[in-house]
Amino acid sequence: MAKPGKRVRAYRETVDSKKVYSVDEAVKLIKSNATAKFDETVEISMNLGVDPRHADQMVRGVVSLPNGTGRSLRVAVFAKDDKAEAAKAAGADVVGAEDLMERVQGGEIDFDRVIATPDMMPLVGRLGKVLGPKGLMPNPKVGTVTPDVEKAVKDAKGGAVQFRVEKAGIIHAGVGKASFGEAALEENIKAFIDAVNKAKPSGAKGTYIKKVSVSSTMGPGLRLDHAAAL
């Protein structure tokens, strides 16, 4: 088994794996140790006390991070006529209807978020087997099926992050870049935790948020004192 590199060893020396960090302590450590040759993403992982196999324990939603994600999303919109023009004006990267459906069916998926007007959903529904596994299927619960495509596009471009609990009860997402200022990262992390906390489903019993950790792309996870972040 290969030994960890010098950078990884140095990072481990600064991190106490048993410690529960405050958000500001964690952000300082992440920023000081994010020394990769690219701008690392700051990622959050939340272990929830839910079983998403039960409908009343599903956790999903969307949160507009106050300082954006630092990532440029490519947005596709299924719309026609005035709505299509509004989507283009708002900055959508790809706009169409039947023509866009054919592109997707042909394997041309060069976007990160899909928005649709309600009247387009019978068409978009035919793409469920393609878009669903990639987490791209529009859904009214997260604001991606809406008549207000202008707002939806601007939200997506401005840092709106969708979240959905996975089978093991885990949610994870990017909440910024290591190049962000400390205050900006702290605000984003707290906003994300708050949004997931408010999305607590009716069927959740016992402890809802069990564990929260943050890390940079190349760094180890730091456990957060999530109660203090709310």
Reported as a single tens digit per residue, the pLDDT across 137-186 is 999 988 999 999 999 999 999 889 999 999 899 999 999 999 999 999 99
User: Where residue 9 falls among pLDDT bands split at 50, 70, 90?
Assistant: low
Predicted confidence at residue 8, as pLDDT, reads: 59
The dihedral over CA atoms of 177, 108, 101, 60, expressed in degrees to the nearest 10, equals -30
Percent of the chain scoring above 70 in pLDDT: 94
Mean pLDDT, all residues of the chain: 92
Higher pLDDT, 189 or 36: 189
Task: Report the candidate in 91, 92, 97, 99 with the shortest Cα–Cα distance to residue 76.
Answer: 92
CA dist., res. 181 & res. 177, Å (int): 9
CA dist., res. 62 & res. 173, Å (int): 11
Mean pLDDT of 200-228: 93
CA pseudo-torsion sign 71, 162, 52, 195: positive
Predicted confidence at residue 10, as pLDDT, reads: 62
**Residues 29-62: tens digit of each pLDDT:** 999 988 889 999 999 999 999 999 999 999 999 9
User: Where residue 88 falls among pLDDT bands split at 50, 70, 90?
Assistant: very high
67 contact partners, CB below 8 Å, separation of at least 6: 159, 176, 180, 184, 185, 187, 188
Percent of the chain scoring above 90 in pLDDT: 82
Backbone angles phi and psi of 82, in degrees to 5: -60, -40
CA dist., res. 88 & res. 215, Å (int): 36
CA dist., res. 26 & res. 137, Å (int): 34
108 contact partners, CB below 8 Å, separation of at least 6: none
